[in-house]
C-alpha cells in the first residue's frame, strides 16, 4: 500500500495540537514563497491572495506544532528518517534502516531566542547520535547551536568534543551531532540530559534548551561483536602497527590500533571478494589508541574480512575472526 494512501486514511484530531504562531523569520519566508508562486495579482484578487497566505501560514503552524509521539506509525514512516538520511551524507549506506536502534523523540523546547526540536537519538558502540532542528526567533538572534552539556546516568561528560553534519531532510535543515562516550558502559539503558546553547561563546544564554530522554541499548548490545586482535605487524614501509580490536555494530565498524607514526596508506580492510570497506572517519594520536571507522559489516552472516597491507608487494594479511 502507498504511504500516501496510509496518510490519507489517518484520522487526526487537530484539537490535540496547540497552534504555535510562526516566528518572524518563518512568516517572511512563507510570504515571499507564496508571492513568488502567485506573481502579481489584480486588485480584485487581493482578498483571495491574503486569504491564501493566511491559510498557508495556519497550516504550516499546525504542522510545526505536531506532537510526533501522538501521530500514527504511517506518519512516522514518512517523516521520521532524519538519522538515516543525515548519515548518508557521511558515507553510511543509503539503504540503512535504524528503526530498531533509534528513538523518535519529537519534543520541543522554546525560549525567547527560538525553538529547538529534538528529533531522533541513537547509540553506536562508542558515541551518542542526536538529530535536532533549530528555528531562531529572528535573524538578529541567529547562530548555530551545539551540545553544551551532556549528562548520562548522572555522569557529566565534561567538555563536549562533538562533531556534526548538517543536511536537508524532508525540506527541513537538520543537524546531527556525534558525541563521544567511550568511557561509559552501555550495557544498561541510558538516561540522558542534553543541553544545547549557541555555538558562539559571546551569544551563550543563561537558560539553554534542555532535553531529558531515555536511550535503549538492548538491540545494540545484542548485535554488537568485539573481536580481540592483539597483534603487532611491521609493514613493508617499516611502520609498526599494533592492532588492538575490532568492534562491529549495526551502525558502524571500528578498527582500533596504535602506531608511532601516521601512514594512512599502510593498511585497509577488505571483504571476502577483495572489496575495501568504505571508510567513514578516523582519529589518530601517536602512540595512543586510535581508530578507523568503516561501514557496518555482518560478522554473524559468515562473511570473511581481512586487514591487508595497501602495498601490493606486502603480503601481510590478518583475518578478522569473531
Contact 208, 195 (CB under 8 A): yes
Residue 272: C-alpha distances to residues 229, 292, 304 (Å): 18, 19, 5
Helix (H) or strand (E) holding 262: none
3-class DSSP assignment, residue 49: helix
Residue 34: per-residue pLDDT: 59
> What are the residue ranges in the chain where pLDDT is below 70?
1-80, 139-143, 262-265
Cross-strand bridge partners of residue 317? 308
Order of strands across the sheet with 172-180?
A: 102-111, 114-123, 127-136, 172-180, 163-169
Nearest CA among 117, 179, 131 for reference residue 152: 179
* Inter-residue contact 258 to 288 (CB < 8 Å): yes
* List of E strands, the chain: 102-111, 114-123, 127-136, 145-152, 155-156, 163-169, 172-180, 190-198, 209-215, 225-234, 240-248, 253-259, 267-270, 279-285, 288-294, 305-309, 317-320
Bridge partners for 152 per DSSP: 155, 192
Give the model's pLDDT for residue 43.
45
Instruction: Measure CA of the first residue to CA of the last residue in the chain; give whole Å.
Output: 41
List all residues 6 or more positions away from 256 whose beta carbon is below 8 Å from its beta carbon: 243, 244, 245, 246, 247, 289, 290, 291
Provide the sign of the torsion angle of the four alpha carbons 96, 98, 99, 100, taken in this order. Answer: positive
Which contiguous run of DSSP H or E holds residue 20? none
Topology, domain 223-320: Immunoglobulin-like (2.60.40)
pTM for this model (two decimals): 0.72
Residue 127: C-alpha distances to residues 69, 157, 180, 186, 195 (Å): 25, 12, 4, 10, 16
Task: Report the length, in residues, of the chain.
Answer: 322
| pLDDT value for 35 | 54
* Sequence spans of domains, the chain: 18-64, 80-221, 223-320
The grid coordinates listed for 135 are: 528555528
Q: Note whether 80-221 and 223-320 share their fold.
A: yes
Instruction: Say how far residue 124 (Cα) sits from the centre of its chain.
Output: 11
The pLDDT value recorded for residue 10 is 55
- Supply the pLDDT for residue 126: 93
Q: Residue 102's CB: how many other CB atoms inside 10 A?
A: 24
What are the grid coordinates assigned to 245, written together?
Answer: 580490536
pLDDT of residue 262: 62
- The 8-class DSSP code of residue 89 comes to G
What is the CATH architecture of 80-221?
Answer: Sandwich (2.60)
Angle at alpha carbon of residue 251, lines to 249 and 253, rounded to 5° = 55
Of the candidates 252, 306, 241, 248, the residue with the CA atom closest to the CA atom of residue 278: 252
Residue 292, burial from CB neighbour count under 10 angstroms (0-12, 13-18, 19+): buried
Q: What per-residue confidence (pLDDT) applies to 237? A: 74
The neighbour count for residue 101, using CB atoms within 10 Å, is 21
Do residues 226 and 259 make contact, with C-beta atoms less than 8 angstroms apart?
no
Q: What is the pLDDT of residues 218-264, one digit of tens each?
A: 999 999 999 999 999 988 777 889 999 999 999 999 999 998 876 55
Amino acid at each position: 500500500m502507498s504511504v500516501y494512501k496510509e496518510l490519507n486514511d489517518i484520522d487526526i484530531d487537530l484539537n490535540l495540537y496547540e497552534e504555535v504562531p510562526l516566528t518572524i523569520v518563518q512568516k517572511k519566508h512563507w510570504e515571499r514563497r507564496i508571492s513568488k508562486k502567485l506573481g502579481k495579482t489584480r486588485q480584485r484578487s487581493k482578498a483571495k491572495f491574503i486569504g491564501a497566505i493566511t491559510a498557508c501560514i495556519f497550516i504550516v503552524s499546525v504542522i510545526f506544532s505536531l506532537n510526533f509521539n501522538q501521530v500514527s506509525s504511517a506518519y512516522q514512516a514518512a517523516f521520521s528518517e532524519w538519522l538515516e538520511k543525515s548519515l548518508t551524507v557521511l558515507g553510511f549506506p543509503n539503504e540503512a534502516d535504524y528503526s530498531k536502534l533509534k528513538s523518535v523523540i519529537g519534543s520541543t523546547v522554546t525560549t525567547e531566542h527560538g525553538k529547538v526540536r529534538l528529533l531522533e537519538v541513537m547509540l553506536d558502540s562508542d558515541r551518542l547520535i542526536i538529530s535536532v532542528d533549530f528555528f531562531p526567533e529572528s535573524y538578529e538572534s541567529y547562530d548555530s547551536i551545539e551540545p553544551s552539556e551532556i549528562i548520562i546516568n548522572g555522569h557529566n561528560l565534561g567538555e563536549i568534543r562533538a562533531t556534526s553534519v548538517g543536511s536537508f531532510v524532508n525540506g527541513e535543515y537538520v543537524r546531527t551531532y556525534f558525541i563521544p562516550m567511550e568511557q561509559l558502559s552501555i550495557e544498561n539503558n541510558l538516561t540522558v540530559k542534553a543541553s544545547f546553547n549557541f555555538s558562539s561563546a559571546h551569544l551563550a544564554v543563561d537558560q539553554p534548551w534542555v532535553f531529558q530522554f531515555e536511550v535503549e541499548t538492548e538491540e545494540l548490545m545484542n548485535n554488537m561483536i568485539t573481536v580481540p586482535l592483539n597483534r603487532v605487524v611491521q609493514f613493508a614501509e617499516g611502520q609498526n602497527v599494533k592492532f588492538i580490536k575490532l568492534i562491529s555494530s549495526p551502525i558502524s565498524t571500528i578498527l582500533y590500533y596504535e602506531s608511532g607514526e601516521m601512514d594512512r596508506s599502510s593498511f585497509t580492510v577488505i571483504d571476502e571478494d577483495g572489496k575495501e570497506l568504505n571508510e567513514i572517519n578516523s582519529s589518530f594520536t601517536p602512540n595512543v589508541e586510535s581508530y578507523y571507522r568503516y561501514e557496518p559489516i555482518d560478522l554473524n552472516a559468515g562473511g570473511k574480512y581481512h586487514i591487508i597491507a595497501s602495498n601490493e608487494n606486502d603480503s601481510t594479511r590478518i583475518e578478522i575472526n569473531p
